[in-house]
C-alpha cells in the first residue's frame, strides 16, 4: 500500500467511494464536493498499485488547527490498516499543530478506532463541540 497526495480529482472514483460508505449527502451535490476538495488543505490517498483504497481530507490553517474532514475507505478494504495508515500520515505531517480535530459517527467502532489512534473526546479535555447542519 502506498500513501500519497491525491492531486487530480477523479469525480467518478470519489463519488463511488462516498456512495459505498453510505455518505450520500455528499454524492447528492457533486459540485460542492469537488469544490470542497479543491479548497482542502491536504488530501491523501491510499493506493494498491493504481487502485484507490481510501482517502483522508484535511481542512484548516496547517499551523494552529487542522480538522480531519473526511476519512473514507472502501468497505472491502476496511479493517486492513488503510484508515490507520492514512490517519498516521496526516498526524505525522501536522505533528507540530496544537489542535487536530474531527467529528465522527457516535458508534462503538468509530470511537474505538479514534481512541486507539490517540484522540480523546472533547468532554475529556474540558471542552464541548457544536455543529450547525
Segment 109-121, tens digit of pLDDT:
999 999 999 999 9
pTM: 0.93
> Which structural domain, as residue segments, surrounds residue 97?
2-102
Q: Is position 130 within any domain?
A: no
User: According to the model, what pLDDT value does residue 131 have?
Assistant: 87
Please check whether residue 76 lies inside any domain of the structure. yes
How many CA atoms lie within 13 Å of 122's alpha carbon, on the beta-carbon side? Answer: 10
| Average pLDDT of the chain, as a whole number | 95
Judge whether 108 lies within some domain: no
Residue 6: the pLDDT is 96
CB 28 within 8 A of CB 9: no
CB 73 within 8 A of CB 46: yes
Q: What pLDDT is recorded for position 113?
A: 92
55 lies in some domain = yes
Across 107-132, average pLDDT: 91
128 within a domain of the structure (yes/no): no
Q: Is residue 115 part of a domain?
A: no
Q: Is 114 a domain residue? A: no
Q: pLDDT for 30-82, tens place per residue?
A: 999 999 999 999 999 999 999 999 999 999 999 999 999 999 999 999 999 99
Say if residue 13's pLDDT is above 90: yes
Q: What is the CATH number of the domain that holds 12?
A: 3.40.630.30
Does 129 score more than 90 pLDDT? no
- Cβ atoms of residues 55 and 15 within 8 Å: no
| Residue 24: Cβ-neighbour burial (10 angstroms; 0-12, 13-18, 19+) | exposed
What total number of domains does the chain contain? 1
CA distance linking residue 70 with residue 106, whole number of Å? 15
Cell of 50: 493504481
Is 107 a domain residue?
A: no
Amino acid at each position: 500500500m502506498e500513501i500519497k497526495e491525491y492531486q487530480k480529482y477523479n469525480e467518478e472514483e470519489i463519488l463511488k467511494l462516498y456512495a459505498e460508505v453510505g455518505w450520500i449527502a455528499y454524492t447528492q451535490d457533486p459540485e460542492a464536493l469537488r469544490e470542497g476538495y479543491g479548497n482542502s488543505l491536504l488530501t491523501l490517498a491510499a493506493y494498491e498499485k493504481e487502485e484507490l483504497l481510501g482517502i483522508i481530507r484535511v481542512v484548516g490553517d496547517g499551523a494552529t488547527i487542522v480538522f480531519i474532514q473526511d476519512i473514507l475507505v472502501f468497505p472491502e478494504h476496511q479493517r486492513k490498516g488503510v484508515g490507520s495508515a492514512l490517519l498516521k500520515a496526516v498526524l505525522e505531517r501536522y505533528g507540530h499543530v496544537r489542535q487536530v480535530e474531527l467529528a465522527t459517527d457516535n458508534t462503538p467502532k468509530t470511537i474505538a478506532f479514534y481512541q486507539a489512534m490517540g484522540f480523546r473526546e472533547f468532554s475529556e479535555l474540558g471542552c464541548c463541540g457544536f455543529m450547525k447542519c
